[in-house]
Structure 1
Amino acid sequence: MAATSGKLRPPFRLLLLLLAAAVARSVDGVELTLLTGAREKGAVCLDGSPPGYHLQRGFGSGEHSWFIHLQGGAWCNTIEDCSKRKMSAYGSSKFMRAVEFNGILSNDQQLNSDFYNWNRVFIRYCDGASFSGDGEAQDQDGSTLHFRGLRIWEAVINELMGKGLATAKQAILSGCSAGGLAALLHCNDFYARFSKEVSAKCLPDAGFFLDIASFCSSEDLSGERHMWSVFNGTVHLQNVTQVLSKDCLAKKDPTECFFPAELVKSITAPTLILNSAYDSWQIQNALAPDGSFPGQSWSSCKTDVRNCSSTQIQVFNGFRNKFVDDIEVVKDKKDWGLFIDSCFTHCQTPFDISWNSQASPVLGNKTVAEAIGDWYFERSYEVKEIDCEYPCNSTCSSQLP
């Protein structure tokens, strides 16, 4: 999941609490495995502790199939933010516990019929730069802040290769929100680790962040480029360059190259982009961030779209149009997929309710789970669905996270 630097907005705080509750439930949870030799490899969390992952082994027909999921959960783009972050599970393995696998990670065949018996891995996120930085800085207390996301990615994947990933016949790299962005950043590297006979693909969930200003067309919004500010601070503080496209860096600022609209241009692996065109986190934190409008005119709207006026919905539609424009380059990419719904939500694969339930969004007569399964296993000629404008899709539920 993503978050603004520093303070978490109330709706997003609720989503983090839901995830924290899932992490805290150790009954039937998947235990944490700390990376072997992390310090020697320089692959450490912000506080210098070893990173970790949760592995549930596959069985039967899924014994040689691997699903790798990169956890999301914000970026830190200042020393102060990263210092606070290292005192949590998003910056230190000292606070990590067992996790419960739900949604696309579930071992329930009825809920997750395509991937339930695969080897499923949940890689914990503790660097604050979508597994992409490589540097360090002095913290306010004199200790070292370790920006080692890229090394964490490489070391954990290498360890998993030794545990069976190297002999995979099927493999998916996924992630949610900041982890979805990480899946895009590392998609080519993941894909290149396998022979052409291996069906290796990428599945970023809610990781397509827009470089968009809070809309100036509405007089009470500031027009500031919030995501640019967050990404710019992250890219330069944590030295995020090695994972970016060289072609993009030759022409553009590194911050621009960190945005998905640029990243997708250089990705060669088959990829399905799963996202809401009305991504609730981006609307709440990038389109209408706190402090960009007076009074309560947007507060109730951005937390519950049913409270929005027709004028506010028009602003949301402007966001959607920008989103559709940015993914235009994907439409003609062979072997790629799209599932872009119009639900007011953020992250759909990690939760049972949005992944595959009666409340799951439906596009092209398929739930999220059905569409992804059909795309990965090539059961359909093409899975490229872009929903119509809100509120046309009656399957969008207020129960979605």
Structure 2
Amino acid sequence: MQKFNFTGVFSSKKEFNPGFYNWNRVIMRYCDGASFTGDVEKVDPATNLHYRGARIFNVILDELLAKGLNKASSALLTSCSSGGLAAILYCDKFRAKLPATSQVKCVPDAGYFVHVKDISGKYHYEKFFTKIVKLHNSEINLPSSCSSKMKPGLCFYPQFILPKIKTPVFVINSAYDSYQVQNILAPEKADSHDSWSACKLNISNCSSSQLKRLQEFRSDFIKILRSGMGRSILNSTSRGMFINSCYSHCQTRNQINWLGDPASKLDNKLLQRCSVTGFMRETQLS
């Protein structure tokens, strides 16, 4: 099993993680491929795979509650990429399991996947999400506020989920998320002439027209994020965000991004400082 690297928000060293270094940290191994939403009774006979991510999440959470999480004064549900998406999908369920007096927030890192057209004018990534939901029988574990009104595959997109989430949420993402550029904006199926491969690998290789398209993607991302937060972000006491323009995917576990990368500063504040301030201020007011 791969060893987990305890850096960034998970670091136990005060000089590297002054806001959370002395918190109890639990790493929930991600292994189901569907952001912990899978729930299929039958084992796949061809591969012997079990699609039971939702059961794994619930069992681990129940065990943690029995070990003392039920007495937590503050709790943070966070992860990156598909784990960041899980932090959104399970946000209110996680909050409901903890005491009403607990300060709870969900912090998705690089988990805000956006539903936008790719370079071919189609939604190829939506088909990917739809296949995941069908394979894992995820619909039964998606927020009913979304799945009762939209196609289940769309309920993997935070923009259709966050407006109904009641628990405080602090979104960390790049507006030029490298994974989303490579798989949502310019996936291989949409790039029939393979004109985006070099650009996706290193944006310094992008042509002027490709850079313009990247900037349009950023504008779409920001617009969708603002509307999808569900309320005025400027006046909200339960919504916050740290959105930079780094061409990256996942930042809270990267020690350089978390504490010391000048390129990640917003209003002269680093990612770590904004996250700590956002967590403490918003949960105290909520």
TM-score (ref. length: structure 1): 0.66
Distance verdict in 2 for CA 1:148–1:381, change over 3 Å: closer
Match of 2:275 in 1: 372
Match of 1:104 in 2: 9
Match of 1:145 in 2: 49
More helix by share: 2
Distance verdict in 2 for CA 1:211–1:156, change over 3 Å: same
> Matched residues in 2 for 1:368 and 1:381: separation?
20
**2:238, 2:282 within 8 Å by CA — same for their partners in 1?**
no
Distance verdict in 2 for CA 1:366–1:224, change over 3 Å: same
| 1:159 partner letter | E
The 5 Å alignment of 1:331-342 reads: 332=232, 333-342=236-245
> Matched residues in 2 for 1:180 and 1:379: separation?
19
1:123 aligns with 2:28: yes
Match of 2:217 in 1: 319
Cα offset, 1:106, TM superposition: 0.4
Cα offset, 1:379, TM superposition: 8.6
Match of 1:68 in 2: none
> Matched residues in 2 for 1:158 and 1:152: separation?
10
**1:374, 1:380 within 8 Å by CA — same for their partners in 2?**
no
Instruction: Find 2:160's aligned residue among 226, 246, 262.
Output: 262
> Matched residues in 2 for 1:230 and 1:359: separation?
35
Spell out, residue by residue over 1:325-348, the C-alpha distance to the aligned partner (whole angstroms, 9 max, x if none).
211232514321011111111100
Higher relative contact order (CA 8 A, sep 6+): 2
Instruction: Find 1:202's aligned residue among 101, 106, 110.
Output: 106
**1:186, 1:243 within 8 Å by CA — same for their partners in 2?**
no
SS in 2 for 1:285: helix
Match of 1:56 in 2: none
Cα offset, 1:265, TM superposition: 1.5
Spell out, residue by residue over 1:213-257, the C-alpha distance to the aligned partner (whole angstroms, 9 max, x if none).
212xxxxxx334222011100111111123322232222111112
Distance verdict in 2 for CA 1:334–1:137, change over 3 Å: same
| 1:146 partner letter | H
TM-score (ref. length: structure 2): 0.91
SS in 2 for 1:120: coil
**1:353, 1:360 within 8 Å by CA — same for their partners in 2?**
no
Q: Which has the greater radius of gyration?
A: 1
SS in 2 for 1:154: helix
Identical aligned residues as a percent: 40
For the aligned residue pairs, the C-alpha RMSD in angstroms reads 2.1
Q: Which of 222-231 and 183-192 deviates more?
A: 222-231
Structure 2 unmatched ranges of 5 or more = none
| 2:37 partner letter | S
> Matched residues in 2 for 1:321 and 1:157: separation?
37
Cα offset, 1:324, TM superposition: 1.4
Spell out, residue by residue over 1:97-133, the C-alpha distance to the aligned partner (whole angstroms, 9 max, x if none).
4323111000110110010011011110111110011
